[in-house]
Structure 1
Amino acid sequence: MSDPILNLRDLRKGYNAGKPNEVRVLQGIDLTVQAGEVVALVAPSGAGKSTLLHIAGLLDTPDTGTVAIRGQDMSALNDRKRTAIRRNDVGFIYQFHHLLPEFSALENIVLPQLANGATDAAARDRAMHLLDTVGIAPRATHRPAALSGGEQQRVAFCRALANDPVLLLADEPTGNLDPVTSDRVFAALMALVRQTGLAAVIATHNLDLAARMDRAVRLVDGRLVDGAA
């Protein structure tokens, strides 16, 4: 079997070490995610799921433990190489879309590709393909303020996949949407993930959504356990 896309081993992370208010957030996290696998990360607010996703996506570092992406230990890399891997290999989706308000939906997806060296024509072709996949290609020229909440989040999904990452990390990607819109937007996200075959870890407190993924893990007292409930 080939190396997993994401391999976390004995991750530990705390804050205010040695002080009376010390908090141990992660206490020995092990997680392996293969290409094409969608894993639900189930945890209530404040349990540490955002910290875990940030470490997995190289936005933060653990106190101890290792993060490997495609078999490569990230702790052995300097900041420049970690930044390059984060830009090329990892896509992030947050609960709020964080789209650039002065640019259209299409432009929001084109810009990260241009920053990564793509030609304008290639970037626009990929952006339109992604927008079509999530069903909002007719809204390509609209700015975020002219889009519904569900449409904005679908644009954010496309932006996260603009540079063709191998790993997608999503933190409550439908958490600010009503149930009907959440279901529709989640279906669009899963269509994108299945089409690309990337590895994905999607944090959610919604057990119905978690049940639609390949498997679920729960973050309990700083450790992962199998199952959503």
Structure 2
Amino acid sequence: MSDPVLALEGVTKTYNKGKPGAVEVLRGVDLHVARGEVVALVAPSGAGKSTLLHIAGLLDTPDTGSVRIGGDEMVGLSDRRRTIVRRNDVGFVYQFHHLLPEFSAVENIVLPQLARGVSRAEAQIRALDLMARVGVAERADHRPAAMSGGEQQRVAFCRALANEPRLLLADEPTGNLDPETSDTVFEALMDLVRSTGLSALIATHNMALAARMDRVLRLDKGVLGAG
């Protein structure tokens, strides 16, 4: 059996460790995401799901434990190497789109590819293809402020997948949208993920959306279990 795309084993994280008011956020978390698997992560507010996603995406480091992406250990890597892995292997989607306001939709998707060394022409082709898949190709030349919330978030999905990562991490990716738009945008995300064979860990409060994924995990009081 091949290695999981993402594997966390024995991960712990405590903020203000050794000080009064220390907060134990993660307590020995084990988590595997297989190739092509879409896993829902549900948790009460403040339970540590964002911390877990940040550790999985190499934006934070665990106090103890192992973090592997594609079978390679990430704990102990240099900052430069961690940055390369984040750029090439991990895509991020947040509750707010975080698109660069001074650039058009297509430029927001082209820019991360240029940072990786892809030619502008090739980056443009991929960006437009991704936008077409999620139904916003006609908004390519619009800046974020000229798009609806659902359109902005779909462009953010495309940007996250621009460099063909092996893992997508999403933190409440439809949390800022009304229920009808949320459902439409989530469907677009799932279609994009399925069509690319991507592995994904998606945090959500929406149990109806979580039920549409392959597996549901619940984080509560620093412990991860089946949802």
TM over 0.5: yes
Partner of 2:65: 65
Q: How does 1:10-159 map to 2 (within 5 A)?
A: 10-159=10-159
Aligned to 1:187: 187
Deviation string, structure 1 residues 103-133 (Cα, Å, up to 9, x no partner): 1100000001001100011000000000000
1:15-35 Cα distance to aligned partner (Å, 9 max, x none):
111222010000010000011
**SS of equivalent to 2:125:** helix
User: Residue 75 of structure 1 aligns to a residue in which SS?
Assistant: coil
- Aligned counterparts of 1:82 and 1:39: Cα–Cα separation in 2: 23
Partners of 1:201 and 1:25 in 2: CA distance: 18
What residue is the counterpart of 2:197 in the other structure? 197
Superposed CA offset, 1:72-114 (max 9, x none) = 0111422211110011000000000000011110000000100
Distance 1:211 1:64 in 2: 31
Aligned to 2:218: 218
| Larger displacement relative to structure 2 (150-159 or 72-81) | 72-81
Counterpart Cα distance in 1 of 2:89 and 2:196: 13
What do the CA deviations read for 1:113-161 (whole angstroms, capped 9, x no partner)?
A: 0011000110000000000000110111110011000000000000000
Q: Where does the alignment leave 5 or more consecutive residues of structure 2 unmatched?
A: none
Residue 222 of structure 1: how far off its partner (Å): 0.3
Is 1:3 aligned with 2:3?
Answer: yes
Q: Number of paired residues?
A: 227
Q: Tell me if structure 1 keeps the 8 A contact 2:90–2:168.
A: yes
RMSD: 0.6
User: What letter corresponds to residue 143 of structure 1 in structure 2?
Assistant: R
Could you tell me the percent identity over the aligned residues?
A: 72
Alignment partners' CA distance in 1, 2:210 and 2:129? 27
CA distance in 2, matches of 1:214, 1:132: 25
- Partner of 2:176 in structure 1? 176
Work out the CA distance in 1 between the residues paired with 2:72 and 2:136: 36
Where does residue 166 of structure 1 map in the other structure? Answer: 166
Paired AA for residue 10 in structure 1: G
Give 5+ residue unaligned stretches, structure 1: none
How far is the alpha carbon of 1:220 from its aligned partner?
Answer: 1.0
> Within 2, Cα distance between the matches of 1:18 and 1:76?
22
Is 1:206 aligned to 2:198, yes or no? no
Do the aligned partners of 2:44 and 2:220 also contact (CA within 8 Å) in 1?
Answer: no
How far off its partner does 1:198 sit?
1.2
Extract structure 1 runs of 4+ deviating beyond 3 A. none
Provide the C-alpha distance between the structure 1 equivalents of 2:77 and 2:26, rounded to a whole number of angstroms.
22
Report the 3-state secondary structure (helix = DSSP H, G, I; strand = E; otherwise coil) of the residue aligned with 1:97.
coil
Distance of 2:102 and 2:187 partners within structure 1: 28
